[in-house]
Amino acid sequence: MTETASAPAVIEAAAYREAMARLASAVHVVTTDGPAGRAGFTASAVCSVSDAPPTLLVCLNHASSSHRVFGRNEALCVNTLSATQAGVAATFSGRLSAPERFASVGWSGLATGAPVLDDCLVAFDCRIVKRVTVGSHDVLFCEVVGLAAPSEADGLVYADRRYHAVPWPRPVEEGGDEPAVERRSGRQGRRRTDAGAAPDPLPRAPK
Ligand X SMILES: Cc1cc2nc3c(=O)[nH]c(=O)nc-3n(C[C@H](O)[C@H](O)[C@H](O)COP(=O)(O)O)c2cc1C
Identity of the residue numbered 147: L
What is the per-residue binding string for ligand X in 78-117, x denoting contact by CB under 6 A? -----------x---x------------------------
Of 174 and 200, the one with the shorter C-beta distance to ligand X is: 200
Distances (CA, A) of 28 to 42, 48, 82, 178, 182: 6, 13, 9, 34, 28
Cβ of residue 93: shortest distance to ligand X, in angstroms?
Answer: 3
Residue 64 contacts ligand X per CB under 6 A: yes
Position with the least CB separation from ligand X: 45
Q: What share of the chain is helix, strand, coil (3-state, %, to 5)?
A: 15, 40, 50
Nearest to 88 by CA among 49, 57, 53, 121: 121
Residue 61 contacts ligand X per CB under 6 A: yes
Answer for which of 32, 34, 38, 60 binds ligand X (CB under 6 A) is 60
> Which range of residues in 9-17, 37-45, 114-122, 182-190 is near ligand X by CB under 6 A?
37-45
Distances (CA, A) of 173 to 15, 170, 193, 205: 32, 10, 9, 31
Residues within the interface to ligand X (CB under 6 A): 27, 41-45, 59-61, 64-66, 89, 93, 158, 205
